[in-house]
Chain A
């Protein structure tokens, strides 16, 4: 079992090395601020995708309202920093707590629904959240919340992303996480194995929502202005696409999905007429030829190349 800890440390070390390299590149302006911004967006998208993956991929509960929780986190966060002048970290925690709380309150009744019904209900709830915000003049209503101080930078995003990955990875690799996965695989059998399915569905939903709130808070403090228009169901679709593209039930996949989708969007930016057409075709072709996503259920840590590099095999 030391192995687990060792693996963790290696991953952590590796991440910090990557962080250091990128941070140096940014500070020395080798990476321009445009690419810094894109790295920030990728980081935020990773948090969104991984937290949605916990709900959709690991627990198998089809949620289409993730952008709604992001909105709650974003608005809570900017209210904290702008109106109450609280530190950024407090805003992030507040965003997480409020989004998580809302996820809990919404999840409790709605997670009784299954499949498509749950999907459309969560989509509706996401839209309701957005419309309520749109009607709150306190936060600027439909026109958006202006005058946000810029707090988000690459370091914040990367470290919080790392924290998110750490928490969610540890969660899914525990008995609690296995309970969630069991629900995805077969709810009836899970219940028969002594798993309180309602509790774990709501738990996954709450944790996922809380991290969406964190992502939202980072997002809000990056753009000076946020408006409800950034959190429509189309945004939720986009996060879902990242998750499915990477592979439902793979954290590595969600990271890759967030990366690829953000990257495609940035690379195709000069051709706005074709961008969405190409994106759409890529999506359809991916579903034809690799419906399980780039990684399926696979994680980098369980891959041959990784094991070979670190001379590590399965204990068996």
Chain B
């Protein structure tokens, strides 16, 4: 009576589902020995999917090229992808799955700092090396002053960019006052702001106002109206391109003519699309590479051929991480995570799309130049190349 037919069916389904969980759990083997299993923990859906997916395209291309060139000692590299839904909790989930179920020996990603930090504990516990391709926050590889043995990155770090832009503002632009407009939902943005302020004020400038917004905001006019009133020489906006495009557009609309400065998050053709070429004039940003650099050219060509559209900076960084990984795998010669870890740490003078990199074993950050680009009528114009300060 109480236990109707339908209900019986429902619980049967439930039971099967439970059992299958248990059995599915038994399936995690370490993979066959004729391929290298590499994990990609990526923001495929959710708020940061744009950045994650672009990086994944670059990564896939690097792996594909390596496989076409004969793989690693005749073995093919197999990329196992997992979606972290742009949430740090899910990044842990995805990393755990990659390690325990898919048996990967090394992981590339995620794109965003917070997600990499979430993942790093699981990777460290399981002694699986990680290469972060776009997480520029210093805390990614270092904790309490000590380097995290298994966590690496293939991009430069925020202090470098922040310092570069602050020096650029005070020395080249002779700016005395600055406003910072920060994405307070992003560690990236916040830490860049901090470094910029320190450097800029040390050089005699003054940050007269700091405003904040949140990722995915649409309307910035209210805060910009306030910023306009501050009348500063430069406005520093360390943020990602989606918001940057809208901010620049709306700033110009309400009559802000001041110079705007940005960071690598600006490096995407979308900024010009959204803001409009003329609005973007009188803006500068730091980034990882310039399209006419050696190495970059061939990457851009093959990327465009592969996907039918030009790469953005995330794609380039994803590609870099892939190159770095392939190089390390070759030198490691086995899929032993410890060997891979050691090989990554010993990376030296490796030509990737954005630069020639050497891994700093003390910080697990690559030693890389930063580039400053000026937007002129919708085109990137190379401004300067600045080596890391130390």
Q: Do A and B come from one complex?
A: yes
Interface size class of A (residues with CB under 8 A): 35 or more
User: Which residues of B have CB within 8 Å of A227?
Assistant: 88, 114
**Once the chains bind, are B190 and A143 in contact (CB under 8 Å)?**
yes
Binary per-residue interface labels of chain B (2-24) against chain A in the complex, 1 for a CB within 8 Å, 0 otherwise: 11001110110010011001101
User: How many residue pairs bridge A and B at CB < 8 Å?
Assistant: 126
**B82 (CB) vs chain A CBs: closest residue:** A269
From 87 to 142 in chain A, residues with beta carbon under 8 angstroms from any chain B beta carbon are 134-135, 141-142
From 43 to 77 in chain B, residues with beta carbon under 8 angstroms from any chain A beta carbon are 44-45, 47
**Once the chains bind, are A32 and B114 in contact (CB under 8 Å)?**
no
Given A142-B186, A150-B121, also A34-B100 (CB < 8 A): yes
**Once the chains bind, are B121 and A224 in contact (CB under 8 Å)?**
yes
**Once the chains bind, are B96 and A143 in contact (CB under 8 Å)?**
no
User: Which residues of A have CB within 8 Å of B97?
Assistant: 34, 269
Q: What separation, in Å, do the CA atoms of A141 and B183 have in the docked complex?
A: 11
Partner of B1, one of A223, A290, A304: A304
User: Which residues of B have CB within 8 Å of A224?
Assistant: 88, 92, 117-118, 120-121
**Once the chains bind, are B101 and A34 in contact (CB under 8 Å)?**
yes
**Once the chains bind, are B114 and A35 in contact (CB under 8 Å)?**
no
Least CB distance from A214 to B in Å reads 17
**B85 (CB) vs chain A CBs: closest residue:** A272
A303 CB-CB contact with B under 8 Å: yes
A230 CB-CB contact with B under 8 Å: yes
Partner of A144, one of B11, B18, B24, B114: B114
From 289 to 308 in chain A, residues with beta carbon under 8 angstroms from any chain B beta carbon are 290, 294-295, 298, 302-305
User: Which residues of A have CB within 8 Å of B44?
Assistant: 272
Least CB distance from B66 to A in Å reads 23
A256 CB-CB contact with B under 8 Å: yes
**A32 (CB) vs chain B CBs: closest residue:** B100
User: Which residues of A have CB within 8 Å of B47?
Assistant: 229
**Once the chains bind, are A269 and B25 in contact (CB under 8 Å)?**
no
Q: How many chain B residues touch A (Cβ–Cβ < 8 Å)? A: 49
Q: What separation, in Å, do the CA atoms of A274 and B69 have in the docked complex?
A: 33
Least CB distance from A258 to B in Å reads 12
Least CB distance from A300 to B in Å reads 9
Partner of B3, one of A35, A37, A305: A305
Binary per-residue interface labels of chain A (67-94) against chain B in the complex, 1 for a CB within 8 Å, 0 otherwise: 0000000000000000000000000000
User: Which residues of B have CB within 8 Å of A190?
Assistant: none
**Once the chains bind, are B83 and A32 in contact (CB under 8 Å)?**
no
B31 CB-CB contact with A under 8 Å: no
B185 CB-CB contact with A under 8 Å: yes
**Once the chains bind, are A34 and B18 in contact (CB under 8 Å)?**
no
B214 CB-CB contact with A under 8 Å: yes
Least CB distance from B191 to A in Å reads 9
Partner of A37, one of B83, B96, B114, B139: B96
User: Which residues of A have CB within 8 Å of B333?
Assistant: none
User: Which residues of A have CB within 8 Å of B2?
Assistant: 298, 302-304
Least CB distance from B52 to A in Å reads 10
**Once the chains bind, are B3 and A41 in contact (CB under 8 Å)?**
no
User: Which residues of A have CB within 8 Å of B99?
Assistant: 33-34
Given A259-B14, A304-B1, also A142-B214 (CB < 8 A): yes
B26 CB-CB contact with A under 8 Å: yes
**Once the chains bind, are B25 and A276 in contact (CB under 8 Å)?**
no
**Once the chains bind, are B96 and A33 in contact (CB under 8 Å)?**
yes
Least CB distance from A77 to B in Å reads 15
User: Which residues of A have CB within 8 Å of B11?
Assistant: 305
B201 CB-CB contact with A under 8 Å: no
B187 CB-CB contact with A under 8 Å: yes
Binary per-residue interface labels of chain B (189-215) against chain A in the complex, 1 for a CB within 8 Å, 0 otherwise: 010000000000000000000000010
A263 CB-CB contact with B under 8 Å: yes
**Once the chains bind, are A32 and B25 in contact (CB under 8 Å)?**
yes
Least CB distance from B70 to A in Å reads 28
Partner of B21, one of A38, A273, A295, A303: A38
**Once the chains bind, are A276 and B45 in contact (CB under 8 Å)?**
yes
A211 CB-CB contact with B under 8 Å: no
Given A227-B88, A294-B10, also A25-B22 (CB < 8 A): yes
Given A263-B21, A304-B3, also A33-B187 (CB < 8 A): no
A241 CB-CB contact with B under 8 Å: no
**A147 (CB) vs chain B CBs: closest residue:** B143
A199 CB-CB contact with B under 8 Å: no
A195 CB-CB contact with B under 8 Å: no
5 chain-A/chain-B pairs, Cβ below 8 angstroms? A31-B25, A34-B93, A259-B17, A269-B97, A290-B10
Q: Which B residues are closer than 8 A to A by beta carbons? A: 1-3, 6-8, 10-11, 14, 17-18, 21-22, 24-26, 28, 44-45, 47, 82-83, 85, 87-89, 92-94, 96-97, 99-101, 113-114, 117-118, 120-121, 126, 139, 143, 184-187, 190, 214
Q: Which 7 pairs across A and B sit closest by C-beta, in order of nearness?
A: A142-B185, A32-B100, A304-B3, A35-B25, A143-B187, A272-B83, A34-B97
